Amino acid sequence: MIKKIFYITILAFFLQTSPIIAGSTGSENLKGSKRTSGAAGECFEGTSRAVFNFNLALDKAIFKPVAKGYRAIPLPIRKSTGNFVGNLRSLLTLSNNVLQGDFSGAGNTLGRFAINSTAGILGVFDPATRLGLAKRGKEDFGQTLGVWGTETGCYFVLPVLGPTTVRDAFGKVGNVFLDPVYQVTHNTEVDGGIGNESYSEHNYFIYRGAGSVDFRANNIESIDSLEKNSIDFYASVKSLYLQDRIKKISNSNSPIETKSDNDWEEIED
């Protein structure tokens, strides 16, 4: 464990100082961009667009049909599945609450986990909310890096995993080390003789997959509508992804705090 924390610290230090994390690739300047919204630059847009199209095809062939099938399951079962996965996911949030120095958030996450894992029968139900411990946002290591002041870096699209930035890609690696669910499932599988040191993540991937299906099922219509009404779907998804990350890093639900009015001022003249 100490070794893993050491690796994460080295990774974080590298990100704070690395030139590849600079705010933009400079491609916007080369193109004489007149964007004023502060969007992250592209790392390699042509490749990202190709990967994006591949992901879309994969979604239409596999993920969306699976999500539709999942939605045919009665709502209480879906809700319980979402609660169960969300409860496990909160352990990653807890690690990141602590790393961000958000001890109030950590207390909330820990309290919710304790109550929902016991009174809520392994997280299937959510009595913590009724007891006054409201659900707060999820945290991940990419957000933690953002809170620590790491720049976004350029934007690109990963196969299957979807949109990301340099900072968030490193964050995804950090998540694996920081997620207690990964540690438990990995070690249990190694000890139980399932897989080996280099491949023993079956249960972890099932857990992550369940979370993704739940998310996709909740967003079938909104993603369809976005695609239908976009003139450049790739750019829409990029914009939404980056806005969402800013919102999550600022830990704010108020658009007044996260959306600057300056953007609108230019139309006044």
State the residues that interact with other proteins by CB under 8 A: 28, 31-37, 39, 45, 71, 75, 218, 220-222, 225, 228-232, 234-236, 238-240, 243-244, 247, 252-253, 255-256, 258-259, 261, 263-264, 266-267
Closest distance of CB 126 from other proteins, Å: 14
Closest distance of CB 240 from other proteins, Å: 5
Closest distance of CB 252 from other proteins, Å: 8
The structure tokens listed for 4 are 């893993």
Task: In whole angstroms, give the CA distance from residue 133 to residue 14.
Answer: 37
Nearer to other proteins, 38 or 180 (CB): 38
**Identity (one letter) of the amino acid at 177?**
F
Nearer to other proteins, 186 or 238 (CB): 238
Nearer to other proteins, 126 or 189 (CB): 126
Closest distance of CB 37 from other proteins, Å: 6
- Contact status, residue 39 vs residue 238, Cβ threshold 8 Å: yes
Could you give phi then psi for residue 164, rounded to 5 degrees?
A: -160, 175
Closest distance of CB 122 from other proteins, Å: 22
Nearer to other proteins, 3 or 34 (CB): 34
Task: In whole angstroms, give the CA distance from residue 33 to residue 31.
Answer: 5
- Contact status, residue 83 vs residue 210, Cβ threshold 8 Å: no
Closest distance of CB 10 from other proteins, Å: 33
Measure Cα distances from 207 to 84, 126, 133, 138, 247 in Å.
Answer: 10, 19, 24, 16, 26
Nearer to other proteins, 31 or 60 (CB): 31
Contacts (Cβ under 8 Å, ≥6 apart) of 128: 111, 112, 115, 116, 120
Nearer to other proteins, 16 or 225 (CB): 225
- At residue 33, the 3 state secondary structure works out as coil
